[in-house]
Chain A
Amino acid sequence: MVIVLASTYLWSKKIDEIDYKRSSIYSILVNHTEQKYASFISDVFCKMPMPDKYNEHNLSVRILTTNKQTPEDGSLFLEQNDIASRLVSKWFNRNQETGECNTELIKERGLYNASMFDMMFASQTVRGNSMLADAGEELIGNTFVLVNDIRYVDAEKQAQAASIGIAVGSALLGAFVGAAQNSNKQSDNNNAGNAISNLGMLAANIVSTIKGFKVVVHTYLYQLVWDDETADFFYGSLYSEKADPYKINLFNESRKKFKLKYIGKQLSNGRDISCMGVNLDTPDQMVMKACTRAIDENCANLAKNFEQFKIKEKIVSTSPITVAIGKKEEITENSKFEVLQPVEKSNGTISYRQVAIIKPRRGLIWDNRYMAKEENAVGSSLNGTTFYKVSGGKIVPGMLVRELK
């Protein structure tokens, strides 16, 4: 037993040293200015905490306006304003006026040893190339844009829309009802989800309360394309550590070479938000709570449905198995997670091997949603969710968990 314990200790120490690099997000609000409380929503949006487990990669433009009645996916804006190129610029801290770039942000978010990175970057050794590739795949390529179309739910209009929905036909209404009851599956791949594009608010079937504030959020997910071709072009033709007028012009002319890829969308289910813990004298607090929870919910469901957007989180202890994730990540008793062991390959990159399956323990799911503590929500005082092992081998602290569909 002593020998087993000793080797386990050594093993866990090594895994602990391998850190997980987070994805980065640029989050935009689409504000329907003709709607009620549009100004409240836009006021709180920029103050909202970044969805947990992600790095902030925002640009200076965060709020878009529209007077459309239907959700706006922001695709035209992203295309016309060359957002992909700006996201890349931010990764390399590119100075618009001089064209100078550096890799400080990559080092910081990539958790690289700074001097080692510089040396490898300059020397272009196998390990250096791997680090670059690793930085590309794990960091730059994991940059996402979230376009959040947030609208206040007006109970009066809700009732009117409901009556229109019924007139359309019971089959269609049945699809809406099914979608409303099973909102986790409202992704772009779901036909019911597609069908509700114009009557999305119906699916939520929300009734506004006196002290409540409800929103419906459509979140559209895009990913920055960072393939070999893009990376080679950037490093070869555009990257410069000194002022270079030629490269400034070339970059401006080449902005369209950088692309965003549409991944999918998610609709919040608009569940009731308690006003407990909210100071009703400051209504923006309730707006903040409703919007933050809805966006967190959408991020969690997007992560469930789209592999590239999934988060990984470390196991912090094994007696009991505890991970710092919870209701914010939409964990329920039925959620299932795989435990991953990071494996360092000979070329210096990291891959992950599944070693076990775990499930959350009933009653011990951490409520880490925004303002859950102020609400005195059950589970808000826990510091993580407790899991139990369903199958698999030994689990040690430092291993990563990732939700299974």
Chain B
Amino acid sequence: MKIRNFTFITLVFMLISNAYAGVIINEKGKYGYTDEARGIIIPCKYDYMSDFSKKGIAIVQKKNKWGCINTDGKVILKLKYLYISAFEDGFAKISTKEGLGLINDNGKVVLPASFGFIKPFNKSGIAIIGTVDGKIGVMDTNCSTICGCGNKIAYYNQEFNRIDITSEMDTIPGLPDYFYLYDEEQFFYRKNGKSMCTRRSDVRNSLMNITYNCSGRDAIPEVCGWSDFKDGIAIITTTVNLIDDAGKVGVSMGYYNIVEDKFIGYVRFDKSKVDVKNGNMFSGTNVFKLYEFNNGYGCCSHIDKTGKKRSYIFDLNGNIVRKLGMAFGFNKEGYMIVQDSVSKKYGVINLNFEYVVEPKYSDISLYKQKAMVPPFGKILVKENNLWGEIDIDGNVIIPCKFKNVFYSSAKGLILYSTDGENYGIMMDNGKIISDCKYKDIYVSMSQNSFCATTAQESKKIRIYSTYTGKSSTESYDTFVDVIEANEEHGGQIFVLGTKSSNDTTYSVIDGNMNLIVDRLICVDDALSIANEESQKPFKQASAIEIKRLRLKKNMNTKKYPATYTLSEEEWDY
């Protein structure tokens, strides 16, 4: 009986093995390997065997130890690991008591097992790795650690030309030329494809090695701000404390080029007590302002105790290239508002320091505070106490006849006021869209809508869509956001807030003023619904559908006492 069974089993396996090439398992649950041409190559002796990779390597387990073999059965990676994961993107994780590492699909250890975690490679070939104690770094597919290990990641967001800081490791889009990992102590950046590392204390140390032309006084730098990357470098605003012979501290202020490892200092004060905020330095009645580098120039403006204004323009090497009366730094387009020191009138100069708008205006706005996206080539100017608009060649677009004007957040729209109290909207070519009847206006980026507060509803706002010509039936307390949408939704979807005694709830309506959902507790839910709906075909939701959507979204946040009988309003069914 036994012999017959054995023969039968063998026959079955022969049949199977002759028809099959790959990993096999016997009746005892042991794994082996058979090849179509050669028969059983590796006898069934492993507790586990994965499929072979394209390079002919399989992961095997025997007696709770893991390693790798090739298709000849030869051990390529000794069976000594606690675990080896499946191959993914050409790598598999190895696990030891010390931590995790990586092997490639040749079975070779490419990253020693010492890490706490290793995330999968993203599309740009970057993987986030972490030490056992939770610090984070970045690695490329050569498994060289590019940067590590802080506890946050900052990277250069090319789309918005800014540095973003995130703890969402998987959102890093790639490895642009300039970025840095950021924590309290250090940061990293790349220059010409090479990774560099700098610690804040190293910056301090290198600054400390600089000898200032301050009668030989020691200088101790303090970093007080980090700018975005401009012209390929990041500028750190520093104050340099000067210690005189009596041990008292003075301050100098300037930039630090982290790529060139160079301090661009220029303004020095003795024995000043300063307060540094947002790039401004206050020293008694002296005020200093550092502007970001743009187009290769930085700018420091200074108003001294007598009220005298002076500005210094610096190049990337820290050389003073110009001294002016009062200047406000070059903008991205290469223009700078300046005030003539004699006439006190404002004009505009270009990168050649030539006037493109003669200094004849009592005030000027190239980028006023409320204007987030000033139109290039147009400038608001004040003459005889009234505002108008000119172009970069000095041609009048809007005559100076308004009490107040400023650029809105939407390109091409200006908010104007005739009495200084109520505002209306006009195009930047002077065409009036709305009369001056609103206490406050917020204009959307798309130019197709605005929300406004009338004098009667002084604390409430309504949405007006210039695209559909409709306004909201309800009034709200806050404007959160507007999202571009398809025409079926009237071109836009709005997220608005309503305050109550306890908190704020959020509503989502479209450009046709159809309610999509209301009374949401979490603003992120409102924004995500707005984004989801924006390109969907419009479907008029019933009251029950609106209610269920709201309840579904609020589910995560709302809590109810276990002893209560709830009203029907809280139930979706």
Contacts and interface: CB of A to CB of B under 8 A. Distances in A.
User: Top 6 nearest A-B pairs by Cβ distance?
Assistant: A60-B551, A89-B573, A64-B562, A60-B572, A46-B556, A80-B565
A76 B543 CA distance: 30
Nearest to A57: B573
A63 B568 contact: no
Most chain A Cβ neighbours within 10 Å, of B116, B558, B559: B559
A378 B47 CA distance: 13
Most chain B Cβ neighbours within 10 Å, of A60, A86, A320, A388: A60
A381 B64 CA distance: 15
Interface in B128-163: 130, 134, 136, 151
B573 A90 contact: yes
Given A95-B544, A280-B134, A363-B47, A63 B571 contact: no
Interface string A127-147: 000000000000000000000
B25 interface: yes
Contacts of A94: 573
B365 to A, nearest CB: 43
Interface string B69-87: 0000000000000110110
A280 B167 CA distance: 11
A96 interface: yes
B552 interface: yes
A97 B562 contact: no
B559 A42 contact: yes
Contacts of B573: 59-60, 86-87, 89-90, 94, 96
Contact of A63 (B136, B560, B572): B560
Interface of B: 25, 29, 47-48, 50, 61, 64, 82-83, 85-86, 93, 95, 100, 116-117, 130, 134, 136, 151, 167, 169, 542-544, 548, 551-552, 554-556, 558-566, 568, 570-573
A37 B52 CA distance: 46
Contact of A376 (B95, B130, B561): B95
Nearest to A90: B573
Interface in A1-59: 30-31, 42-43, 46-47, 58-59
A61 B570 contact: yes
9 contacts: A66-B562, A66-B563, A77-B562, A90-B573, A279-B130, A320-B25, A376-B95, A376-B100, A388-B29
A376 B83 contact: yes
Contacts, number: 111
A105 to B, nearest CB: 11
A95 B559 CA distance: 24
Most chain A Cβ neighbours within 10 Å, of B61, B93, B116: B116
Given A86-B573, A280-B134, A381-B86, A72 B543 contact: no
Interface of A is mostly: loop
A86 B559 contact: no
B117 A374 contact: yes
Contacts of A376: 83, 85, 93, 95, 100
Interface residues of A, number: 50
A64 B559 contact: yes
Contacts of B86: 381
Nearest to A378: B83
A59 B47 CA distance: 46
Contacts of B64: 363
Contacts of A61: 555, 558, 560, 566, 570-571
B560 A64 contact: yes
Contacts of B572: 59-60, 90
A74 B562 contact: yes
Interface in A275-299: 276-277, 279-282
Contacts of A74: 562
A256 interface: no
B317 to A, nearest CB: 40
A41 to B, nearest CB: 11
Contacts of A59: 571-573
A62 interface: yes
Interface string A200-241: 000000000000000000000000000000000000000000
Given A60-B555, A281-B151, A378-B83, A65 B561 contact: yes
A86 B48 CA distance: 49
Contacts of B117: 276-277, 279, 374
A265 to B, nearest CB: 16
Contacts of A76: 562-563
Contacts of A43: 556
A76 B566 CA distance: 12
A96 B559 CA distance: 22
Interface string A70-104: 00101011001100001101100011111000000
Contacts of B95: 376
A364 interface: yes
A386 interface: yes
Contacts of A109: none
Contacts of A87: 573
A361 B29 contact: yes
Interface in A259-279: 276-277, 279
A302 to B, nearest CB: 21
Contacts of A377: 83
B563 A77 contact: yes
B71 to A, nearest CB: 20
Nearest to B134: A280
Nearest to B558: A63
A363 B542 CA distance: 55
Contacts of A77: 562-564
Contacts of B151: 281
A94 B47 CA distance: 54
Nearest to B128: A279
Most chain B Cβ neighbours within 10 Å, of A87, A364, A376: A376
Given A60-B570, A81-B565, A94-B573, A281 B559 contact: no
Nearest to A85: B573
A281 B542 CA distance: 42
Interface in A344-372: 361, 363-364
A266 B5 CA distance: 47
A96 B29 contact: no
A361 B134 CA distance: 36
A280 B86 CA distance: 25
B25 A63 contact: no
Given A280-B134, A282-B167, A86 B562 contact: no
Contacts of B548: 60
B571 A96 contact: yes
B456 to A, nearest CB: 35
A372 B42 CA distance: 30
Most chain A Cβ neighbours within 10 Å, of B82, B85, B93, B560: B560
Contacts of A72: 562
A86 B566 CA distance: 13
Nearest to B130: A279
A388 B27 CA distance: 9
A31 B559 contact: yes
Given A60-B572, A320-B25, A376-B95, A364 B544 contact: no
A377 B100 CA distance: 12
A308 to B, nearest CB: 23
Contacts of B565: 80-81
Contact of A60 (B61, B134, B552): B552
Contact of A30 (B29, B47, B61, B562): B562
A63 B551 CA distance: 13
B559 A65 contact: yes
A96 B544 contact: yes
A131 B61 CA distance: 49
A276 B121 CA distance: 19
B568 A96 contact: yes
Interface string A304-316: 0000000000000
A96 B551 CA distance: 14
A17 B542 CA distance: 38
B93 A63 contact: no
A288 to B, nearest CB: 13
Nearest to A43: B556
